[in-house]
A = this chain, B = another copy of it.
Amino acid sequence: VSEAIWEYPVRMRRSEPLSREVIVHAAMAYVDEHDLGTLSTRGLAAQLGVTPMALYRYVRNKDELLDAVVEELLARIRLPRRSGTDWRRWLEAIAQSLRRLFVEHPVAISAFARGPVTTPTARRRLEQSVEMLTAAGFTPDEAVKAYAAVHTYTVGFSTLEATRRSNANPRDLAVPVAELDSLHVSIHQFVSDDQFTYGLRALLSGLTPSASV
């Protein structure tokens, strides 16, 4: 299950002084290359050329360290330029840009899986969306539901995509029939750029302000 991740022969010979920033930075470097789940305090300490407990001067515990890493990951999210008043185009743009972040930095998904995201960017994303939707005739309540639907679809899709992509899934090999031959369906079709866009557009075209009915 777990391979040898850190080259334990200590590299970083303590040139830089230890600090919260240095620790989080090292954790980020690791997490970008590997995974949030395999990050260990001991491995991190070794990489920094220090005993595990040295870290505890700067972070209360592993959970706090993980939260710090997650914050850093979330800071990478940027809102696309807002142009025009086509709310469907806007919702599609933010959904696509969020997914692109997830594809490029799969570890960012863990940030969303850990709990609700309430960073400034996340809030501005919601606020701008609600603005456009209410302008289009949605009630505020409907607007939030519509936004939530798109957001959940995007994060949910990306979450499943990540597990299917990641590290040579054993079940694909173990189960002899990953395809339904009669239909020429591969389970891999379930997650792809096309499939994401297909579902997203279906969802978007199904969203309409009740007033317009």
Interface residues of chain A, those whose CB is within 8 Å of chain B, are 1, 61-63, 67, 112-116, 118, 123, 126-127, 130, 140, 144-146, 148-149, 151-153, 155-157, 159-160, 163-164, 169-172, 174-175, 177-178, 180, 182-185, 187, 189-191, 194-195, 198-199, 201-207
A163 surroundings in chain B (CB, below 8 A): 113-115
Q: How far is the CB of A171 from chain B (nearest CB, A)?
A: 4
Question: What is the oligomeric copy number?
Answer: 2
* Contact among B63, B127, B206 for A204, CB-based, below 8 A: B206
When the two chains form the complex, which single residue of B116, B194, B203 contacts A203, counting CB atoms closer than 8 Å?
B203
Is chain A's binding surface mostly helix, strand, loop or mixed? helix
The answer to whether A180 and B126 have CB atoms under 8 Å apart is yes
B156 in contact with A187 (CB, 8 Å): no
Contact A145 B198 (CB under 8 A): yes
> Is the pair B199, A169 in contact by a Cβ cutoff of 8 Å?
no
| Cα distance A175–B160 in the bound complex, in angstroms | 27
CB pair A116–B172 under 8 Å, yes or no, is yes
